[in-house]
Amino acid sequence: MNEIEKYILQFPKDVQDILRKIRKLITDNAPEAEELMAYGMPGYKTNKRPLVYFAAFKNHIGFYATPSGHSEFSEALSTYKQGRGSVQFPLDQPIPYELVERIVKFRLTENDNRMKSEMERKRKPIA
Residues 6 or more apart whose Cβ sits within 8 Å of residue 70 = 77, 82, 85, 86, 87, 103
For residue 79, tell me if it sits in a domain.
Answer: yes
- 0.85 exceeded by pTM: yes
Residue 117 lies in a domain: no
In a domain, 24, yes or no: yes
58 within some domain: yes
Domain range for 74 is 3-111
CATH of the domain at 27: 3.90.1150.200
Assigned domain for 103 exists: yes
Please name which of 102, 68, 60 lies closest in space to residue 85, comparing C-alpha atoms: 68
pLDDT along the chain (127 residues), means of 10: 94 98 97 94 94 97 90 93 92 97 95 80 65
103 CB-side CA count, 13 A:
28
> What pLDDT does 123 receive?
67
Domain contains 116: no
The per-residue pLDDT for range 49-62, each reduced to its tens digit, is 999 999 999 999 99
Looking at the structure of the chain, the number of domains it has is: 1
**Predicted local confidence at residue 15, as pLDDT:** 98
User: Is 23 part of a structural domain of the chain?
Assistant: yes
